[in-house]
C-alpha cells in the first residue's frame, strides 16, 4: 500500500535476461502499476504481458469486486502497455485516459475497440472523488506520448519511466548505481526533455514518487531530484577516473591496470577499471557518465579499434555524451591506429577535451612505457 487509497499492483520479473532486448538485468526488473481507490477508480498503467496474468490478479484483489473506471496510460512501450489488450478484455467499459499522441500511437500496440476515451492536455485535471489527478506532459522521457500524473490529494507523482531503476523490488541493492545505468541507457539521450519536466515538477509538493520501474521513492526525493539534475545536464557526478580497455592478449589490459596504479600513487582517490570485453556495455556507459575523466585504451584491430571499444563509443555518441576529459592509449605490433580511430569517433561528440598525451604501446608493457603512462596520468589529473 502506498497510501490509504493508492495500492501497488505491479509485478517483479526475475526471469528476463535482457531488458529491451539488450541490457543485462542480473536482478531482473519490476513493472510497476498502481490503483487509486476513490469514488471512481483509476488504474495507472498496465505491465509487460510477460506478467499480465499475475498483474490482473493483483488488481482484482485490490478491487474487491469493484470495477475500474479509468485506465491512465502514461507510456505505451510494451513493458507497460502490452497488457492493455488483456485489461480491456476483462474491463471493456473502462475509460482510457491519454493525450493526443497516446491515442495516435495506441493502434500500434492495441488491436481492440476503445469504447470510451478521455484525451487530456497539459495541466488538465480528472476528479476521482477526493483525489484529483493533473497531467504533466513529458514527451521523450522516454517516448513521445509519455505523460506524468500528479495526485494533489496524496501529493504523489506518478513519474512514468523517470526515476526508475533496474532490479526487482524484492532484491536489496543500492538505488543509485542501477538507477544511473537505467537512466543513461534508457533516457540519457533526452537530457533537455528531462530538464523540461524537472522544471514542471519543481512547482509541485511531492511526498512520494511512483515510477514505472523500481521502488517507490519517499525519503530520498531531494537526493534523487538532485541526481536527475546532474544527469540531465550531462555534468560529471564523481571525482576520479574511469579506465575502459579493450585488450586482445592482455597487454593493453595490463597497461590499463598500471595506469590505474600510477593515478592512485599520484593521489587520485577513485579509479575504476573495466574490461569492456567482459562487461555489459550499459555498465561502461554508466561509468563513463559518472566520472568527468575517462581513459580509453584499445588494441588496434582491423585498422581501427577492438569491436567492444567501438561499441562503447557508438553507444556514448547515441546517448549524447559530452562535457568530459578523455585520455587515449593504444597498442599495435606493426601499425597502431586505435588512437586515431577513437579521436575520430570522439570528434563527433560535443565538448570532449582529449588529452594531448596519447600512449602508444608496441606489444607487451615494458619499462620504457612507464614514462608515457606517467605523463598521461599527470595530464589526466591536471585536466
Ligand atoms: Fe519502461 Fe520506456 O518503458
Q: What is the pLDDT along the chain (383 residues), one digit of tens a residue?
A: 999 999 999 999 999 999 999 999 999 999 999 999 999 999 999 999 999 999 999 999 999 999 999 999 999 999 999 999 999 999 999 999 999 999 999 999 998 889 999 999 999 999 999 999 999 999 999 899 999 999 999 999 999 999 999 999 999 999 999 999 999 999 999 999 999 999 999 999 999 999 999 999 999 999 999 999 999 999 999 999 999 999 999 999 999 999 999 999 999 999 999 999 999 999 999 999 999 999 999 999 999 999 999 999 999 999 999 999 999 999 999 999 999 999 999 999 999 999 999 999 999 999 999 999 999 999 999 98
pLDDT for 281 equals 97
pLDDT for 290 equals 98
CA 161 / ligand 1 centre spacing (Å): 5
Under DSSP, is residue 92 helix (H, G, I), strand (E, B) or coil? coil
CA distance 14 to 66: 31
CA 376 / ligand 1 centre spacing (Å): 40
Closest ligand 1 atom, residue 161 Cα? 1
CA 143 / ligand 1 centre spacing (Å): 8
Residue 14 burial (10 A CB sphere; 0-12, 13-18, 19+): middle
pLDDT for 383 equals 80
CA distance 144 to 177: 26
Please tell me the residue having the least CA distance from ligand 1 atom 3: 77
Q: Which residue has the cell 582517490?
A: 269
Residues lining ligand 1, Cβ inside 6 A? 75, 77, 79-80, 142-143, 161, 212-213
Of 357, 361, 352, the C-alpha closest to 378 is: 357
Question: Cα torsion at 18, 19, 23, 28 (round to 10°)?
Answer: -80
pLDDT for 112 equals 86
pLDDT for 283 equals 97
pLDDT for 113 equals 85
pLDDT for 83 equals 97
Distance of alpha carbon 125 from the chain centroid? 29
CA distance 166 to 179: 6
What is the number of other CB atoms lying within 10 angstroms of the CB of residue 382?
Answer: 8
CA distance 259 to 273: 10
Which H helix or E strand runs over 147? strand 147-151
In order of 33, 75, 152, 153, the CA distances from 97 in angstroms are 15, 11, 18, 19
Backbone conformation region of residue 65, classed left if phi is above 0, alpha if psi is from -120 to 50, else beta: left
Amino acid at each position: 500500500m502506498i497510501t490509504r487509497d493508492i495500492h501497488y499492483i505491479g509485478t517483479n520479473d526475475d526471469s528476463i535476461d535482457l531488458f529491451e532486448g539488450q541490457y543485462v538485468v542480473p536482478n531482473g526488473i519490476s513493472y510497476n502499476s498502481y490503483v487509486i481507490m476513490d469514488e471512481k477508480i483509476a488504474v495507472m498503467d498496465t505491465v509487460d504481458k510477460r506478467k499480465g496474468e499475475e498483474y490482473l490478479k493483483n488488481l482484482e484483489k485490490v478491487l474487491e469486486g469493484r470495477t475500474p473506471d479509468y485506465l491512465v496510460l502514461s507510456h505505451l512501450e510494451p513493458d507497460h502497455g502490452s497488457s492493455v489488450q488483456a485489461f480491456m478484455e476483462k474491463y471493456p467499459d473502462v475509460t482510457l485516459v491519454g493525450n493526443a499522441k497516446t491515442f495516435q500511437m495506441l493502434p500500434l500496440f492495441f488491436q481492440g475497440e476503445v469504447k470510451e476515451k478521455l484525451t487530456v492536455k497539459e495541466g488538465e485535471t480528472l476528479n476521482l472523488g477526493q483525489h484529483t489527478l493533473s497531467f504533466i506532459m513529458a514527451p521523450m522521457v522516454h517516448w513521445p506520448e509519455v505523460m506524468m500524473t500528479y495526485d494533489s490529494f496524496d501529493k504523489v507523482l506518478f513519474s512514468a519511466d523517470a526515476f526508475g531503476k533496474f532490479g526487482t523490488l524484492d532484491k536489496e541493492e543500492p538505488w543509485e548505481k542501477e538507477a544511473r545505468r537505467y537512466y543513461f541507457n534508457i533516457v540519457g539521450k533526452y537530457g533537455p526533455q528531462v530538464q523540461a519536466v524537472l522544471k514542471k515538477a519543481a512547482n509541485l509538493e511531492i511526498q512520494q514518487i511512483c515510477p514505472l520501474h523500481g521502488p517507490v521513492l519517499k525519503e530520498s526525493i531531494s537526493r534523487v531530484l538532485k541526481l536527475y539534475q546532474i544527469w540531465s545536464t550531462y555534468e560529471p557526478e564523481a571525482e576520479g577516473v574511469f579506465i575502459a580497455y579493450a585488450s586482445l592478449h592482455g597487454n593493453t589490459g595490463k597497461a590499463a591496470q598500471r595506469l590505474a596504479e600510477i593515478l592512485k600513487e599520484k593521489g587520485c582517490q577513485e579509479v575504476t577499471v573495466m574490461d569492456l570485453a567482459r562487461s555489459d556495455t550499459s555498465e561502461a556507459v554508466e561509468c563513463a557518465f559518472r566520472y568527468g575523466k575517462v581513459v580509453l585504451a584499445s588494441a588496434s584491430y582491423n585498422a581501427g579499434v577492438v569491436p567492444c571499444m567501438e561499441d562503447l563509443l557508438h553507444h556514448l555518441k547515441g546517448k549524447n555524451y559530452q562535457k568530459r576529459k578523455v585520455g587515449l592509449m593504444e597498442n599495435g605490433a606493426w601499425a597502431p591506429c586505435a588512437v586515431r580511430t577513437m579521436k575520430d569517433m570522439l570528434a563527433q561528440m560535443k565538448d570532449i577535451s582529449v588529452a594531448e598525451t596519447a600512449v602508444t604501446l608496441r606489444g607487451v608493457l615494458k619499462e620504457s612505457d612507464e614514462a608515457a603512462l606517467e605523463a598521461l596520468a599527470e595530464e589526466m589529473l591536471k585536466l
